[in-house]
Amino acid sequence: MIKVPSWRIHKKWSKRLCGFYSEEIDRLIDGSQHDAGRYDEEVFVEQIEYVASKYGEKGVECYLLHHLLDELKNKLVSMKSRYNEIDIEHVERSLNWLKPEPMRKIRKYDEVWNSLIQKLKPELREVINDIISEKGFKKGQAVAIINKWVSLLVSYVLENLPPCVLVGSVDKAIINSRVTKSIWEYIRSQKEDVTPENLAIFIRKCIADYISEKGLYKEELCPGECKPKHWDEEKWEQFLKSLKIPCPKIK
C-alpha cells in the first residue's frame, strides 16, 4: 500500500501551520481504523468531536491537516506516476477537493478547512518537497500502478453485482480500502509469483466476505434474471458462486 507521510512531516507542518501538534491525533487517525475518517461519516464525527473536546480548534486543524497531507501525497504519487512530473499550480487548484468525504455532507468544519488551505498555499512548494523527498515516495509510484489496477477491478466487480446486493457509496469506499490493504498483505505472504488471475479471485473473495459480514444480500429483491448481457451463463454462475450469494439460479 502507499505509505502516508511520516509523522515527522505531520509534526513539522502541524506546528508551523496550526501552532499545535499532538501525536495522539496521528495515532487516532492511523490506528486500527486506519484513515476511516476520510470516508466514513460516523468515524469522522466521532474522531473530530473527540479531538475538538480535548484540544479545541487547534486540535481540529491538526486533525484535518493530517488527512489533507495524506491525500496530498496520494495525489502527488498519482500525478508523478501518470505524467512523470508535478504541476504545483494544478495541485494548488485541487487542494479543496482533498477534504475528507464526510465534510461534504455535514459541512460543519468548512471554515477551519478553508483557513487551513489558505495557510498551506504559501508553503505548498516546501510541503511538496518534504513529501516527495521521503524514502517511500518512489516506491509509492510503483505501488500506485498496482493500486489503480486493483481499484479498477473492484469497480468492475461492484458494477456487475446483481440488484439484490445493496452496496452504498460508503460500502464501496470501505470495500476498496479493505481490498487494497488485503491485497498487499496477500502479495507479501505468497512465496510464488502472484498472477492477475489469483488476484482477481482474491478480490472477489474479499468483496464476498464484506457482503456476507454486512448482510447486503436481500433475497426478496432477487429478480431471478440479473445476468448482464455481455456475460455468458456459466461465467455469471461462477461469479455469483464466488460472491457466496444464495441466488436461486445457482441453488
User: 11 and 115 share a domain?
Assistant: yes
User: 185 and 66 share a domain?
Assistant: no
User: 128 and 144 share a domain?
Assistant: no
Give the sign of the dihedral formed by CA 139, CA 142, CA 144, CA 150.
Answer: negative
Q: Does any domain span residue 1?
A: no
The Cα–Cα gap between 221 and 224 comes to 9
140, burial (CB in 10 Å: exposed 0-12, middle 13-18, buried 19+):
buried
Q: Does any domain span residue 2?
A: no
Cell numbers linked to 236:
455469471
Q: Which pLDDT score is estimated for 142?
A: 65
Q: What is the 3-state secondary structure (H, E, C) of 15-28?
A: HHHHCCCCHHHHHH
Q: What is the pLDDT along the chain (251 residues), one digit of tens a residue?
A: 445 789 999 999 999 999 999 999 999 998 867 788 898 999 999 999 999 999 999 999 999 999 999 999 989 988 887 788 899 999 999 999 999 999 988 888 999 999 999 999 999 999 999 999 987 777 766 677 777 788 888 998 898 888 888 999 889 989 988 888 888 888 778 766 767 788 888 888 899 899 988 989 888 888 777 777 778 888 888 888 888 777 766 65
Domain extent, residue 244, equals 137-250
At which of 134, 153, 171 does a domain end? 134
Do 164 and 224 contact (CB within 8 A), yes or no?
A: no
User: 151 and 200 share a domain?
Assistant: yes
Q: How many domains does the chain have?
A: 2
User: 161 and 73 share a domain?
Assistant: no
At which of 134, 161, 195 does a domain end? 134
User: 59 and 72 share a domain?
Assistant: yes
Q: Which pLDDT score is estimated for 152?
A: 87
